[in-house]
Structure 1
Amino acid sequence: MKRSTIGLSAIVFATTLISAPAFSQEADKAPTDSLVLYSSHPIEMVDYYISAFEAENPGVKVDLITGGTGELLSRIKAEAGRPLGDVLWGGGAHTGSSAPELFNAYDSPVLSEIFPEFLDPAGFNAPPGAFTMVIVYNKDLVSDEDAPKTWAELADAKWSGKIQYANPASSSSSYAALVAWKEIGGWELVEAMAKNMTIVDSSSGPFTAVGNGEVELGVAYEEGAHRWLASGKVGIVYPSDGVTLLAEGLFRMKDGPNEANADKFADFILSQPQQQALVDNFPGRRPTNVNVSFPDSMPSANDLNVLPYPADAVTDQADWLAKWKDIMINTR
């Protein structure tokens, strides 16, 4: 496996490709021995799946380009006239539909094994995983009985200054929590909760602070919360008043040099064995395949009060974040 990390210079170089003449794609339809994967996920997990994919497809070698989802998407846009990559593994389900000119539609028999909640209405995403937001609490500071069971309970004055939450303007996972709160109780509930919260910039801040005993409660993304379970120091609550479940993104690039292998990789990641491996090897990662056995600590989608993710949470995100900024100012 060859690995590279994208940086500013790579993006600048890629932008020069916009004006480059498009080359013939006919040869790209023939079988190849390569796959170029762009990914923003943790290296440990990506390396695991690259090794497994190469073992199942002898002769195929994967080149990995890492970076933030935004960086990688910028690179793909810059390379649109002459695609160099095959698969983008990162971002959310909406990433593909936000730039449909860059990706191929995905239709595969394996989609019949995927929870309906995670299927992409726009038809681009091969949903490799999903996430939700949870309440995490420190067991030395909060008893299991006293831990909040709903989001709305975080508005109780007894939790003033005892909740840590990452700024949704800098954390996409925290934004998903904000969407859930607005769906449950509107901006009135959001403001009541915000009064009790300490706001941090990093999405890893809340579960880390709770795990270290620095704060009683945190609003955390699911995987991060589960990282602390083995320590015995934290408890996790899936709020009964509702959660949003969001699919992660995996997209096959249009006219990529190795389209057949891109198709194989998408099918491979969604297959039951690899989805089970996700659960077994990476605690807190949520599979999308219905045939996976979930650990006791992670309820399946069927066992949660799943809220619909409103379309205007995507189209009006800038307005929602502006409203959040006003609330922040008013509640500090």
Structure 2
Amino acid sequence: MRDRKWSRRDLLKASTASAAGLLFAEPLKAAVPPAEEVTPALIEAAKKEGKLSFYSALELNTAERLARTFEAKYPGITVRVERSGAERIFQRIAQEQGSGIKAVDVTNSTDTAHYLEWKKNDWLAPYLPSDVVRHFPSDQIDRDGMYATSCAWTEAIGYNTNLVKREEAPKSYADLLDPKWTGKMVKAHPGYSGAILTTTFLLARDLGWPYLEKLAQQKIMQVQSAADPPKKILLGERAVMADGNDYNLVLLKDQGKPVEVVYPAEGSPLIIVPSGIFRSAPNPNAARLFQSFFFSAEAQQMLVDVFAHRSFHSQVKEKGEHIPLSSLKLLKADPAQVQAQSEEIKARYAKIFGV
């Protein structure tokens, strides 16, 4: 990562060219593994197991809604949701695998780099639901069929419309350095949130660490999850969020709450959320059935309609209140680079922000 010093004008001109390329680090083969159908035999085998564990970095209400909808569709199979920040999930799985504990069946994470590590360790099992093969773009599918993108969103700037006038609101990351926002901002932490780890990687890559050093001088309220900043500005505890999930603001705005989302002029960090099955899954058939449900048009449309997430399923319709991803300038991370730099990023961030 470079340490170039940036002016406010430089930041507004920051290029996203270096973000070009596939979302997954490895090149795809000409053909992905065959589609796995949901058969009566699979359903029967899953019901005999009767349960599965879903480790998820999605917000708890989202993960629980998926679990309860699956249970209603397949009575007799219960889903135990283990929800935490992506970095905490990664640590827990590493500890369990190292101790020979077979607990996780299916997991999703907001840090794609985790899947590179799990795949390297041979911890993932190949399984591609038929919907993935037929309706998802190839750049959202692991070339060996170990995982695929279950949903996505962007990290954004946001503000409380009761506290900030639209014409005075920040429109870019550069604007967040204005002294008028000192003591009025909130942001999440890359040591807890995989989405914020990716966002920090992107900002350090494209804007430089000196930008983050200047941002840290703005007396920012530090929270854990990427879902927390929208809540803080909604409550009026801070006027502006420096990062946070765009979908929270879209949902709050739908409810008539005084919040607004801003897609930064420099580009919006794209967060993709893969899902995969573990090779040591204690309930492999239930895991496969759940994975197929997760990627079905039914579940994908629910993620879009109810939770304002993004789906790459070709049959799923975009939420009307959302600006299409195709219309946004997106910052995309190379998972391999995030993986290589993750510990450095977390340590340097903690030192700069004092948390």
Range of TM-score over shorter length: 0.7 to 0.9
**Using the alignment, how far apart are the partners of 2:300 and 2:157 within structure 1?**
25
* Deviation readout 1:42-90 (Å, 9 max, x if unpaired): 45433433343344445x512415253246514651574x745532244
Code of the aligned partner of 1:103: L
- Residue 31 of structure 1 corresponds to 45
* Deviation readout 1:304-331 (Å, 9 max, x if unpaired): 21223033222112222333244336xx
TM-score calculated relative to the size of structure 1? 0.77
Q: Is residue 138–residue 216 contact of structure 1 (8 Å, CA) maintained in 2?
A: yes
**Using the alignment, how far apart are the partners of 2:138 and 2:217 within structure 1?**
36
**Using the alignment, how far apart are the partners of 2:92 and 2:350 within structure 1?**
28
Q: Is residue 216–residue 353 contact of structure 2 (8 Å, CA) maintained in 1?
A: yes
**Using the alignment, how far apart are the partners of 1:249 and 1:79 within structure 2?**
25
**Using the alignment, how far apart are the partners of 1:32 and 1:296 within structure 2?**
36
- Highest relative contact order (Cα 8 Å, sep 6+), 1 or 2? 2
Aligned pair partner of 1:126 in 115, 133, 148: 148
Distance 1:302 1:291, change over 3 A: farther
Given the alignment of the two structures, is residue 222 of structure 1 paired with residue 239 of structure 2, yes or no? no
Which deviates more from structure 2 when the two are superposed, residues 262-271 or residues 163-172?
Answer: 163-172
**2:293 is paired with a residue of what secondary structure?**
helix
Moved over 6 A (4+): none
Given the alignment of the two structures, is residue 188 of structure 1 paired with residue 179 of structure 2, yes or no? no
Task: Give the 5 Å matches for 1:1-332.
Answer: 31-33=45-47, 34-40=50-56, 41-57=58-74, 60-68=76-84, 69-70=89-90, 72-74=92-94, 76-77=96-97, 80=100, 83=102, 85-100=104-119, 101-111=122-132, 112-115=134-137, 118-120=140-142, 123-203=145-225, 204-218=227-241, 219-229=243-253, 230-282=255-307, 284-310=308-334, 311-328=336-353
**Using the alignment, how far apart are the partners of 1:251 and 1:271 within structure 2?**
15
**Using the alignment, how far apart are the partners of 1:241 and 1:78 within structure 2?**
41
**2:187 is paired with a residue of what secondary structure?**
strand
Identity score, percent = 22
Distance 1:136 1:300, change over 3 A: same
* Deviation readout 1:261-297 (Å, 9 max, x if unpaired): 3223212211222111112222x33333233222233
**2:148 is paired with a residue of what secondary structure?**
coil
How far is the alpha carbon of 1:145 from its aligned partner? 2.4
**Unaligned ranges ≥5, structure 2:** 1-41
Code of the aligned partner of 1:93: T
**Unaligned ranges ≥5, structure 1:** 1-27
Q: Is residue 31–residue 258 contact of structure 1 (8 Å, CA) maintained in 2?
A: no
How far is the alpha carbon of 1:254 from its aligned partner? 0.9
Aligned residues: 300
TM-score calculated relative to the size of structure 2? 0.73
Q: Is residue 193–residue 224 contact of structure 2 (8 Å, CA) maintained in 1?
A: yes
**Using the alignment, how far apart are the partners of 1:315 and 1:263 within structure 2?**
30
CA RMSD of aligned residues (A): 3.1
Code of the aligned partner of 2:187: Y
Code of the aligned partner of 1:163: M
* Deviation readout 1:226-245 (Å, 9 max, x if unpaired): 34322431000122311222
Distance 1:64 1:79, change over 3 A: farther
